[in-house]
Amino acid sequence: MNIHPTAIVADGAKLADGVTVGPFSIIGPEVEIGSGCTIGAHVILEHRVVIGEGTKVGHGTILGGNPQALGFDQARRDTGVRIGKNNTIREYVTINRATAENSDTVVGDGNFLMTGCHLAHDCRIGNGVILANTVLMAGHVEVDDGAFLGGGSVFHQFIRIGRLSMVRGGCRFSKDIPPYCVGAGTNLAMGLNSIGLRRAGLSAEARMQLKRAFRLLYLSNFNVTQALDEAAKENWGPEATLFFDFVRGAKKKGICDYSGKELGADE
């Protein structure tokens, strides 16, 4: 281990081999840090924080702080933050601990959280997610694997962002964003994330099915319930099935509306 002499590591903290802790950082007694992690300068890890191996935490980041929820009893000790392996968490990111009994705010593996992002209590981030600078999430937001959220985008509590979706910068959402879609404006879906789907290795057949699925949901004369009924009459591949399952299971706020942009040949 390489711990700067100005850092404070409390008794009880568990640091594996190969951990580096920068100057003036504070590591609380309930913290566990996996092998090969790098903790920058002026980082605060408090309450129950578990960080998986190979994760890098940038300067000024605060993990495990109390949730910004008025009814939360700050004396509780049974909630925390759990970070997976090989994440990059850049400068001045804040991730608050969870509120529910014996639970964690969760970040999976291989994610990239850029400078100034905020994850409120009880958020759940999957694997391979990218959050550009100053993405802000209220409590209980879920982000599925491979999503890309543009800089300055903001997300209301209790919504879900689907797999391999892409959100444009500076947008705001209080509805679920279906998987594979591009989110834009305020609660709008403007087509498929066609470039992201290719980069993720989806086959031409899968992309064509998703295009058909998107058209059925958004560009037919059906409402959501009718579109799902029509979809149930066909056999779909795994990606389109996931798309319709997501819509079927959307939370009470519903899914994003269609932006009105026509789908191009590549979408």
Active site residue ranges: 121-122, 139
Rounded to 5°, the CA angle 178-179-181 comes to: 80
Nearest CA-CA partner of 158 in 256, 257, 243, 251: 251
Residues whose CB falls within 8 Å of the CB of residue 10, separated by 6 or more in sequence, listed in order? 26, 27, 28, 29, 31
CB 152 within 8 A of CB 137: no
For residues 231 and 252, give the distance between their C-alpha atoms in angstroms, rounded to a whole number.
21
- Please name the residue ranges forming H helices in the chain: 194-199, 204-214, 224-231, 238-248
- Residue 103 token pair: 């639970």
